[in-house]
Amino acid sequence: MRHNNNMIENKKMLVSEFRKQGYLQELNRQFLHPLGLALEVLSYEDGHEEFGAIYDYRTDESGIVFDLINSDNTRINDFISKANNIKREKKRIQKNRKKLYKYQLEPIKNKINNKINSSI
């Protein structure tokens, strides 16, 4: 990975932090679930957590949802808190990316993008 034409230190986040801060929830809710996929985290009695399987329901019409409509207030409030945390982080990081790179989401160069679009 590169950052400002410099190699960057490979920092790592614990899976438990990834889950607790809402990254797993929002990755699943915003990206994977609409595609019929879900990333699992396995939690062990000793507190260790690790990524598990990626579930594939792409051929199932009902797909995957968290079923928040049928959830209790505690669960809903937890979802809201995590979603808001990710929203704040995304806003903060995107501001910096826009300043550094002139974009928020890294574009695929036109030459490559044309190949992608023509193959769909």
Given a cut of 70, is residue 30 above it in pLDDT? yes
pLDDT tens sequence across 37-82: 999 999 999 999 999 999 999 999 988 999 999 999 999 999 999 9
Nearest in space to 87 (alpha carbons), one of 25, 35, 15:
25
pLDDT tens sequence across 58-70: 999 988 999 999 9
Taking residue 37's Cβ as centre, other Cβ atoms within 10 Å add up to 17
pLDDT of residue 16: 97
Nearest in space to 53 (alpha carbons), one of 44, 43, 65, 41:
41
pLDDT tens sequence across 7-26: 677 889 999 999 999 999 99
User: In angstroms, how far is CA 85 from the centroid of its own chain?
Assistant: 13
pLDDT of residue 114: 63
- Taking the C-alpha atoms of residue 40 and residue 45, their distance in angstroms, rounded to an integer, is 17
